[in-house]
Amino acid sequence: MELCALTDTDSDIPSEKSRSMLALTVWVILLLLLTAALVALGTWQVKRLSWKLDLIARIDARIHAPSSPAPGPAEWPSIDAAGYEYKHVRATGSFLNDKETQVYASTELGPGYWVLTPMREAEGTIVIINRGFVPTDKRNPNTRPAGQLATETTVTGLLRINEPKGTLLRSNVPAQERWYTRDVAAIAEARGLQNAAPYFIDADDTKNPGDLPVGGLTQIVFPNNHLVYAITWYGLAVMTFGLAAYLVYFERRRAKASR
């Protein structure tokens, strides 16, 4: 019987060289796809940076603008965060102190409560005012009688958008007077308020009689790490592209050396 030796040229088994080229091609394609994804993420963060800077500029302009009358019923359907949040507004009316609501708060002054009091305007509309912060031992209105204003007054502050339902971990329980967010719709329903505005006003730092509640504690913070994120994604893209280029360069050198 005559035996024939198999060679790389007449065998169906891929050569070591072809296997190496296939692996290189797969790795380079994967690295280039990863590079494209990282560039896309970096570009998205650049767009987010532009949006955030524009938002900060718009909010800053609203805060420092002269106060304007709080939006009336005609505007209520169109009120949203983009167009109205942090707008400097004023409202005039009489507080309904017997319908006050306390919302749990943690501030620079420590734990306590926001005091939300409905204000009835001359037209009969209701605007809920976040009059400010009181410590836990002053939650009961009877402990701060001087601050229970009975006459018509004007409040200036920042318009805030409704905070429905509660926080991620704790839900509002109106029946038990447990409030964790300033949900004006639920507060209005619980207090039997009709014709109530779909927003509330954070009162400014004008002192109240007896120094309570303490207003002007609105936190206006917009984290802006988009530039750092963009640099990170672009840096990783450069690294992955560089690795792909190095693999091609290394394989070419190895191929030349083996000839």
Residue 247 lies in a domain: yes
**Quick check: is 51 in a domain?**
yes
Token output for 244: 């792909």
Beta bridge partners of 232: none
Structural domain includes residue 81: no
Distances (CA, A) of 2 to 5, 6, 10, 12: 10, 13, 17, 21
Q: Are 87 and 66 in contact (CB under 8 A)?
A: no
pTM (2 decimals)? 0.80
**Do 144 and 237 lie in a common domain?**
no
Q: Is residue 19 part of a domain?
A: no
Domain range for 55 is 24-64+221-253
Rounded Cα distance between 37 and 233, Å, is 9
203 and 120 inside one domain = yes
Give the separation between CA 88 and CA 217, rounded to whole angstroms: 14
Q: Dig out the tokens for 93 from the structure.
A: 């009316």
- Verify that 127 and 145 share a domain, yes or no: yes
pLDDT tens for each residue of 69-106:
999 999 999 999 999 999 999 999 999 999 999 999 99
The predicted structure's pLDDT at residue 42: 96
Measured CA angle at 98 (ends 215, 71), to 5 deg: 55
CA separation, residue 227 to residues 41, 126, 203 (Å): 12, 43, 34
pLDDT at 20: 78
pLDDT, position 17: 67
Domain tally, the chain:
2
Are 54 and 98 found together in one domain?
no
Does 53 reside within a domain?
Answer: yes
Q: Is the same domain home to 106 and 28? A: no
Question: Quick check: is 15 in a domain?
Answer: no
User: Which of 165, 65, 184 has the alpha carbon at shortest distance from 119?
Assistant: 184
Q: Report the SS3 class of residue 92.
A: strand
Judge whether 229 lies within some domain: yes
Same domain, 231 and 130: no
Buried b (16+ CB within 10 A) or exposed e, 218-227: beeeeeeebe
All residue ranges of the chain with pLDDT < 70 are 1-17, 19, 259
Instruction: Check residue 221 and give its pLDDT.
Output: 83
Q: Is residue 2 part of a domain?
A: no
* CATH code, domain with 152: 2.40.50
d(CA 180, CA 187) in angstroms, rounded, equals: 12
Cβ atoms 86, 220 nearer than 8 A: yes
Same domain, 166 and 207: yes
The pLDDT value given to residue 258: 75
Q: Are residues 207 and 101 in the same domain?
A: yes
Judge if 103 and 174 occupy the same domain: yes
Does residue 128 sit in the same domain as residue 169?
yes
Shared-domain flag, residues 134 and 231: no
Predicted confidence at residue 8, as pLDDT, reads 47
Domain check: are 150 and 115 in the same one?
yes
